[in-house]
Structure 1
Amino acid sequence: MADHDLSRLKIDRQAAAAGASIRPRRRWLRYAVIAVVLLALAGIALRLAGPRPVQTATVTSAYPTQNFTLLNATGYVVPQRKAAVASKAQGRLEWLGVLEGSRVKKDEVIARLESKDVAASFAQAQAQVQVAQANLALQQAELKDAEVNLRRSKVLIVPNAISRTQYDADVARFDKARASVNSSRASVVSAQANARAAEVAVEQTVVRAPFDGVVLVKHANVGDNITPFSAAADTKGAIVTIADMETLEVEADVAESNIARIRVDQPCELLLDALPGLRLAGQVARIVPTVDRSKATVLVKVRFVDRDARVLPDMSAKIAFLSRAATAQDRQPVVAVQPAAIATRDGRQVVYVVRDGKAHEMTVRTGDKLGELVAVQGVKPGDVVVLSPGDHIGDGSRVSTAKP
Structure 2
Amino acid sequence: MTRLADQDLSRLKIDRGPHAAPPRRRRWLPYVAIAVALAVAAAIAFKVAGPTAVETVTVSSAYPSQNYTLLNATGYVVPQRKAAVASKAQGRLEWLGVLEGSRVKKDEIIARIESRDVGATLAQATAQVKVAQANLELQLAELRDAEVNLRRSEQLLGPKAISVQQYDADLARFKKAQASVSNSRAAIASAQANAQAAQVSVDQTVIRAPFDGVVLIKHANVGDNITPFSSASDTKGAVVTIADMDTLEVEADVAESNIAKIRADQPCLLQLDALPDMRFAGQVSRIVPTVDRSKATVLVKVRFVDRDARVLPDMSAKIAFLSKPLAEQDRKPVVAVQPAAIVTRDDRKVVFVVHDGKAQEKAVTTGERIGELVAVGGVAAGDVLVLAPGDKLRDGARVTAAKK
Change (3 A) 1:189 1:393: same
**Hey, what's the Cα distance between the residues in 2 that align with 1:265 and 1:394?**
54
Q: Deviations over 1:45-68 (max 9, x none)?
A: 655554444332210111222222
CA distance in 1, matches of 2:187, 2:382: 85
How far, CA to CA, are the matches of 1:108 and 1:248 in structure 2?
Answer: 22
Once the two structures are TM-superposed, the CA of residue 157 in structure 1 deviates from its matched residue by 4.1
DSSP 3-state at the match of 1:351: strand
For 1:290, give the aligned amino acid.
Answer: T
Q: Quote the residue 2:127 is aligned against.
A: 127
Q: 1:220/1:362 Cα in 2 relative to 1: closer, same or farther (>3 Å)?
A: same
- Quote the Cα distance in structure 2 between the aligned partners of 1:57 and 1:190: 86
Q: Secondary structure at the match of 2:127?
A: helix
Deviation at 1:213, TM superposition (A): 1.1
Does residue 335 of structure 2 align to residue 335 of structure 1? Answer: yes
Change over 3 Å in CA distance of 1:217–1:183 after alignment to 2:
same
Match of 2:30 in 1: none
Identity value in percent: 76
Structure 2 residue 164 is the aligned partner of structure 1 residue 190:
no
1:355 corresponds to? 355
Helix, strand or coil at the partner of 1:301: strand
CA positional deviation for 1:38: 10
Match of 2:92 in 1: 92
Give the Cα separation in 2 of the matches to 1:343 and 1:102. 58
Partner of 2:15: none
Measured after TM superposition, the shift of residue 402 of structure 1 is: 3.2
Query: Equivalents in 2 of 1:257, 1:159: separation in Å?
Result: 105
What does residue 289 of structure 1 align with? 289
Separation in structure 2 between the aligned mates of residue 99 and residue 47 of structure 1, nearest angstrom: 71
2:22 corresponds in structure 1 to: none
Counterpart in the other structure of 1:169: 169
Q: Deviation string for 1:118-169 (max 9, x for gaps)? A: 1111111100101111122222222233333333344444455444444443
For 2:229, the equivalent position in structure 1 comes to 229
Instruction: Give the alignment's TM-score, normalised by structure 2.
Output: 0.85
Q: Give the Cα separation in 1 of the matches to 2:44 and 2:78.
A: 64
Shift of the alpha carbon at 1:241?
1.1
| Mapping for residues 2-401 of structure 1, pairs under 5 Å | 49-401=49-401
CA distance in 1, matches of 2:72, 2:266: 13
The AA in structure 2 aligned to 1:73 is A
- Indicate the SS of the match to 1:335: strand
Q: Partners in 2 of 1:44 and 1:270 — Cα distance?
A: 58
Q: CA deviation at 1:171?
A: 3.2
Q: Distance in 2 between matches of 1:48 and 1:193?
A: 105
The Cα of 1:39 is off from its aligned counterpart by 8.6
Q: Counterpart of 1:344 in 2: which secondary structure? A: strand
Distance 2:182 2:392 in 1: 113
Aligned equivalents of 1:48, 1:239: Cα separation in 2: 78
Evaluate the alpha carbon distance shift between residue 256 and residue 43 of structure 1 in structure 2; reply closer, same or farther with a 3 A threshold: farther
Determine the C-alpha separation between the residues in 1 that align with 2:399 and 2:230: 71
The one-letter amino acid of 2:253's match is D
Supply the AA of the counterpart residue of 1:219: H
Question: Which stretch shows the higher mean deviation, 166-175 or 204-213?
Answer: 166-175
For the residues of structure 1 that align with 2:39 and 2:390, how far apart are their CA atoms?
A: 28
What is the CA-CA distance between 1:187 and the residue it aligns to? Answer: 0.9
Change (3 A) 1:88 1:386: same
Distance in structure 1 (CA, Å) of the matches to 2:123 and 2:342: 87
Secondary structure of 2:183 counterpart: helix
Q: Which amino acid aligns with 2:318?
A: K
Q: Which residue of the partner structure matches residue 29 of structure 1?
A: none
Q: Give 1:91 shift.
A: 1.2
The CA distance in 2 between the partners of 1:43 and 1:162, in whole Å, is 154
Counterpart Cα distance in 1 of 2:223 and 2:376: 65
Cα distance in 1 between the residues matched to 2:40 and 2:156: 154
CA distance in 1, matches of 2:258, 2:327: 25
User: Which stretch of the first structure deviates more once superposed, 163-172 or 66-75?
Assistant: 163-172
Shift of residue 335 of structure 1? Answer: 0.8
Distance in 1 (alpha carbons) for counterparts of 2:37 and 2:76: 67
The secondary structure found in structure 2 opposite 1:287 is strand
Query: Aligned AA for 1:264?
Result: A
CA deviation digits over 1:294-353, x for unaligned, max 9?
222221111111111111111111222222221122123211001222223343322222
- Output the TM-score relative to the length of structure 1: 0.85
Which letter maps to 1:99?
L
Over residues 221-251 of structure 1, what are the superposed CA-to-partner deviations in whole Å (9 max), with x where a residue is unaligned?
A: 1111111122321111111111111111111
Change (3 A) 1:176 1:267: same
Deviation at 1:44? 7.0
Deviations 1:64-108, CA, capped at 9 Å, x for gaps: 222222222221111111111112211111111111111111111
Per the alignment, in what secondary structure is the counterpart of residue 353 of structure 1? strand
**Using the alignment, how far apart are the partners of 1:57 and 1:294 within structure 2?**
43
Aligned-partner Cα distance in 2 for 1:314–1:377: 38
- Tell me how far apart the structure 1 counterparts of residues 386 and 233 of structure 2 sit (CA, whole Å): 66
